[in-house]
Chain A
Amino acid sequence: EDQVTQSPEALRLQEGESSSLNCSYTVSGLRGLFWYRQDPGKGPEFLFTLYSAGEEKEKERLKATLTKKESFLHITAPKPEDSATYLCAVPRGSGAGSYQLTFGKGTKLSVIP
């Protein structure tokens, strides 16, 4: 069974203090990995798709990387507005109909001014 584990569950950072969030997965054949951001009471907002090991994507203060076993979301010099829950997800399914996503439980990031 495909599994996605995110760590830590919660992370408090001072503004400007860089850190990384981890997403480890066990899947039978990686078909990509997604990162989302979710603000309280809202739907997840798409950030990145990583297609294969070694790939990196950047957006503002965020950089996502992918290896064969895990992905990292690096946050450089975070600001309070980066506070959110960050979710990662991997596709699963046979493809006969469609691929669904298995989500991790998320890392709740709080950035303190």
Chain B
Amino acid sequence: QQQVKQSPQSLIVQKGGISIINCAYENTAFDYFPWYQQFPGKGPALLIAIRPDVSEKKEGRFTISFNKSAKQFSLHIMDSQPGDSATYFCAASRSNAGNMLTFGGGTRLMVKP
């Protein structure tokens, strides 16, 4: 059972544009929602994370929007740059269950110069 569904699988954005990646989850017990960025040959790196007591979190050009009632969250990358080209994974976990992360399938982002 895929508990975290991520879309789109791939995304092409022009430099300076906004990249939007969406995730939906099923388990209402999830209480931690991170996004990871992965470059080829590297492990995923934590980008930004949110807990369900807030609806939005912004760090620089990266913003998470969270809709608890819809069980959806999204990553917005403002002013996208070629250096943002990577694979992005959303994830979710329960802090009272060892916080094992359940990952979405990933989105391969390409930002064209």
Q: Do A and B come from one complex?
A: no
Binding site for B on A (CB under 8 A): none
